[in-house]
Structure 1
Amino acid sequence: MTTRRKYAICGVSGRALGMFAKPILTTFAGSCEVVGLLDRDPARFELYRTRYPDHADVPVYGESEFDRMVDETRPDVIIVAGRDDTHARYVLAALRRDLDVITEKPMVTTGEDCRRVLEAERASKGNVTVTFNYRYAPVHTKIKEIIMEGKLGRITSIDLNWYLDTYHGSSYFKRWNRVRELSGGLSVHKSTHHFDLVNWWIGQKPVEVFAYGALNYYGAEAEANPNKEDGRFCSTCELTNKCSYYSRWNARSKRAPVPDDHLGSLDAGKKAFPYSDYRPDQCIFDSSIDIEDTYTAAVKYSGGALLSYSVNFSLPYEGYRLAINGTKGRLETVEYHMPARTPFPTPVQTIDYFPLFGSKETIHVVHKEGGHGGGDPLLLEDLFMGEDPVRPYRILSGAEDGAYSVATGEAVWRSVKEHRPIPIAEVLGGVSLLGAAEAAAGTAGGEKGDAR
């Protein structure tokens, strides 16, 4: 007989509702249940009840009532899905109670908190899982398999250029993500996805980072700002007809004062934004924005590989371009993430393999339905059913994976500010997770790192 696992959710965000609560209450209802909700805003509990009326009797708790929630509901797993700066608080609290943790990325927002989580996990019976769903996209797992097969040989360099369009990219500057203290900046909040993919693909660990970055498109000094004025909101702004970002994605008939539903946050029959003191339609040209929207970075890895990375949060289309080079060949792929938002025809994503001495091979990958390139449903199965025992490689991310991705992201913006290379060990508080052999290889640019 299957034992039902009990889950308590800390942070009743849109991600918590759609990515975690919904599958627990539907697809995995036979073996899982939600036993508690914790958040600082009571309005979010009402949103949960409205969304899932058959489960409206779930006990709810304030942001400081974690221990009471655990004592009263006895969860097996804590799901952490609130604002990024709250992650460390609840991950650490769960580990102190010997509970397993599932946390949305980024695991935490600073290298110091990464160190605290790693130390807490070592002292706990609980384990941390970070939901890096990009790993699960079929194209991404195929890339992992190609590397594991040895077709590229020892990995020497990676080129990864990530593009966010004016719809998606601007959304981060409407929300709390635009404040570094709350999100760690986009090199942490967003780029951890990308850094984790590279770390996982090549089986090496980041050692040192050097980067440049800037705020080019958003903030008060942006060229597209129709007027230097703080405190504006899309749903009430009188300048939407002069705002290129708003006009690009909103028909004239739907412009202010009709609320901008960019995030799908409107609730039928309810108020415009179903939160007590937060609006996700803040002006993207506000002077309070203190993060960058453009980065280029170079990362050195423990096995000698070098990453050339860039990300841009305001482009005409969304997707990425990837090349991985090795001693036996090269791999290339291009993805257009949202074809419906791309102003030109886009091809189905394939992978091109170029042996160092031989003919090009184009690999067609079986694509699957679901969010994040078909990765979300596969991740959810591993989370709520256990990892697939047939899969020949490790894919579900742990605390160490989360720490390396966050440390790389922090190193990026610190390098931008301090104009120097930033060692990953320095970001993690002087505590390196590398073994002696790996550290030596990273310094000398020598042997291949672990191929997990």
Structure 2
Amino acid sequence: MENFSRRSFLQSIALLAAGSAVSLPANAFGMSRKLRVTLVGTGIRGVSFWGRRLVEQYADQLEFVGLSDINPGRLQYGKQYMQVDCPTFVSFTEMLQTTKPDLVIVCTVDATHHEQIIEGLAAGCDVLTEKPLTTDEIKAQAILDAERKYSKKLIVGFNYRWSPYMTKIKELLMNGEIGEITSVDFNWYLNNHHGASYFRRWHGLMNKGGSLWIHKATHHFDLLNWWLDSEPAEVFAYGALEHYGKNGPFRGSSCRSCSHTKECSYYWDITKDAQAMKLYVSNEDHDGYVRDGCVYRNEIDIYDKMSAQIKYASGAIANYSLTTYSPFEGWRIAFNGQHGRVEAWLDIPWMKNDSLDQEGLHAAEMAQGENMDVIHEPVVLYKNWQDYKVIQVASERAGHGGGDRRLHDKLFKQTEAPDPYGHSAGVRDGVMSVLIGVAARHSIVQGKPIKIESLTDLKPKSKRG
């Protein structure tokens, strides 16, 4: 780095609470040049969220100086799709040594995040990693040790915090509208389109994604930790694989080659997805990764139903569940306090008398753009001995509920603006969200509660209680 304060750089990169595409404004780092960025992992998340969108929106602030992936075919398609003119590397180490980036963005398979994170930090780079941070407590501790050793900054990809709807919940709780929070009920539903997609991919293998306790629920646990202003202290959980995997009535290696396409409700015709064909199918020969794998294949070993009880350092207790084969996709939550209750939900069809296209619903949430339709969603505030109040929150469906755009506004339009709700997330937030899922896995196997402080050297803290 040239001619700028290291502290200023770290403060600026600490603003990144990613999960949507983000770039780093040069003036935020006191630099007279663009930020040098490399990307490792050119799957769909990397080339779109962390690739093309950065190129299209923040070309004045950053430049990609290298792309890396173990699959050379996917790597070349990623470069073409991102529309960048930079060298590509099958070797991540060679990319670091050759390009000498300021920032490394990690979008590889979850179980390998720690490898690129630690190597990037050791090479003198700051690192931004896609969620989840990692998949177990040993890797989490290694990451914590590396960040301390090399004095570089690491940030984890979170974006749900930034949506107006999530922020309204945070506002009500932090303002003490229901007093001390004593318990939470949180239920998340993945529909049989989106939920099934995890079981088609590498996410269905414990040694790749750590289960959906990690890959998916890390978002939900981060929200809980943020809303409660507290870190988890103990977890007890149940889980099972009862729907997908070996439970299926038939199976094949992929949807394309399956003889049961007419009778399988989960049949997905990948040939109708031009990008998936170019990014994955055309490059299967390089690494053997099949994007349209059978949801009933025997190798699937993660849970498809999950339930946990989480005790927080503040004394609050949260009951959480994740369903992966629901007829609809959505979630609902209720906070109980000493003086009242807050209820919130999104995309529960009967609540609004809606009949939603479940495949289209997920596509709409992932969509990006500047002109987004405004929607209004209710949050219900109950106070003891008083009538309840329905608060209509203006938001958007696209861009993860408008969270992506607001994150970018903070970074590029209002960089000096205060952060009263604590939207910006750091490595400790990433670790704590992962450790709930890790503890849940251990609890299921061992049949007992797991103390969070037994997993790493971090001791749970609370801003409340």
* 1:233 aligns to 2:254 (yes or no): yes
Structure 1 partner of 2:211: 185
Of 28, 38, 42, 1:12 maps to 42
Distance in structure 1 (CA, Å) of the matches to 2:383 and 2:296: 47
Q: Please name the residue that 1:314 is paired with.
A: 325
1:109 aligns with 2:125: no
Report the secondary structure of 2:262's partner residue: helix
Query: Deviations for 1:16-65, whole angstroms, at most 9, x for unmatched residues?
Result: 11111123211111111111111101112221233133x2x2111124x4
Change (3 A) 1:94 1:371: same
* Contact 1:99–1:125, Cα closer than 8 Å, also in 2: no
Pair 1:291 & 2:319 matched: no
CA change 1:384–1:419 in 2 (3 A) is farther
Match of 1:97 among 120, 123, 132: 123
Change over 3 Å in CA distance of 1:286–1:385 after alignment to 2: farther
Q: What is the one-letter code of the residue matched to 1:180? A: M
User: Per the alignment, do residues 232 and 164 of structure 1 end up closer, same or farther by CA in structure 2, a change over 3 Å counting?
Assistant: same
- Over 3 Å counting, the alpha-carbon distance change for 1:189 and 1:450 in structure 2 is same
Q: Which residue of 1 aligns with 2:445?
A: 417
Alpha-carbon shift at residue 190 of structure 1 (Å): 0.7
Report the residue type matching 1:234 in the other structure. Answer: C
Matched-pair contact (CA < 8 Å) for 2:200–2:293: yes
| Residue in structure 2 matched with residue 259 of structure 1 by the alignment | 271
Distance 1:184 1:128 in 2: 21
Q: CA deviation at 1:95?
A: 1.6
Question: Which one-letter code corresponds to 2:441 in the other structure?
Answer: W
Taking the aligned partners of 2:405 and 2:243, their CA distance within structure 1 comes to 34
Q: Under a length normalisation based on structure 2, what TM-score does the superposition of the two structures give? A: 0.83
Distance 1:171 1:114, change over 3 A: same
Equivalent residue of 1:410, what SS? helix
Partner Cα separation in structure 2 for residue 235 and residue 146 of structure 1: 49
SS in 2 for 1:91: helix
User: Aligned partner of 2:242: which letter?
Assistant: N
2:112 maps to 1:86: yes
State the 1:426 CA deviation: 1.9
Q: Which residue of 2 aligns with 1:450?
A: 463
The verdict on how the C-alpha distance between 1:124 and 1:380 changes in structure 2, with shifts beyond 3 A counting, is: farther
Q: Does 2:210 correspond to 1:197?
A: no
> How has the CA–CA distance of structure 1 residues 16 and 291 changed in structure 2, closer, same or farther, with 3 Å as cutoff?
same
Residue in 1 aligned with 2:53?
Answer: 23
Deviation at 1:383, TM superposition (A): 6.0
Query: How far off is 1:296 after superposition?
Result: 0.8
1:72 Cα offset (Å):
2.2
Contact 2:230 2:463 in 1 (8 A): yes
Quote the residue 1:49 is aligned against.
Answer: 79
Q: 1:184 to 1:416 in 2, by over 3 A?
A: same
Q: What does residue 341 of structure 1 align with?
A: 357
Task: Compute the displacement of 1:121 (Å).
Answer: 1.2
Question: What per-residue deviation string (whole Å, max 9, x for no partner) do you get for residues 68-96 of structure 1?
Answer: 32232221111011110110001111221
Contact kept in structure 2, 1:24 and 1:34, CA below 8 Å? no
Listed as ranges, the matches of 1:267-282 within 5 Å are: 267=278, 272-275=281-284, 276=286, 277-282=288-293
CA contact (8 A) 2:234 2:311 kept: yes
Indicate the residue corresponding to 1:330 in structure 2.
Answer: 341
SS where residue 242 of structure 1 aligns?
A: coil
Quote the Cα distance in structure 1 between the aligned partners of 2:455 and 2:275.
Answer: 36
Q: Cα 1:388–1:417, aligned 2, differ >3 Å: closer, same or farther?
A: farther
**Distance verdict in 2 for CA 1:74–1:299, change over 3 Å:** same
Aligned to 1:130: 156
In the alignment of these two chains, the number of paired residues is 414
CA distance in 2, matches of 1:36, 1:200: 34
Q: Which secondary structure state, in structure 2, belongs to the residue aligned with residue 397 of structure 1?
A: coil
The aligned counterpart of 1:351 is 379
Alignment-derived partner of residue 441 in structure 1: none
SS in 2 for 1:283: coil
Counterpart of 2:165? Answer: 139
| Cα separation, 1, equivalents of 2:105 and 2:411 | 11
Q: What's the counterpart of residue 442 of structure 1?
A: none
- Match among 256, 259, 263 for residue 242 of structure 1: 263
Distance 2:187 2:210 in 1: 21
Letter in 2 for 1:421: P
The one-letter amino acid paired with 2:208 is: L
For residue 266 of structure 2, what is the amino acid of its counterpart? Answer: Y
Amino acid at match of 1:98: G
Provide the identity percentage.
Answer: 35
Residues 350 and 414 of structure 1, relative CA distance in 2, 3 Å threshold: same
Distance 1:90 1:134 in 2: 25
Secondary structure of 2:445's counterpart equals: helix
| C-alpha contact (below 8 Å) 1:32/1:384 kept by paired residues | no
In structure 2, runs of 5+ residues without a counterpart are: 1-25, 350-354, 362-374
Which residue matches 1:444? none
Q: Deviations over 1:286-331 (max 9, x none)?
A: 1101110000110000000000000000010000011011112211
For the residue of structure 1 that corresponds to 2:214, the secondary structure is helix
Residue 376 (str. 1) matches residue 404 (str. 2): yes
**Whole-angstrom distance in 1 between the partners of 2:199 and 2:406:** 30
Which residue of 96, 106, 119 maps to 1:70? 96
Contact residue 376 and residue 393 of structure 2 kept, 8 A: no
Partners of 1:23 and 1:29 within 8 A in 2: no
Matched residue type, 2:335:
I
Bigger shift: residues 80-89 or 43-52:
43-52
Query: Take 1:163 and 1:401, find their aligned partners in 2: how far apart are those partners?
Result: 23
Name the structure 1 match of 2:311.
Answer: 300
Over the aligned positions, Cα root-mean-square deviation in angstroms equals: 2.5
Change (3 A) 1:95 1:173: same
Shift of 1:260: 5.9
Shift of 1:138: 1.4
TM-score by length of 1: 0.86
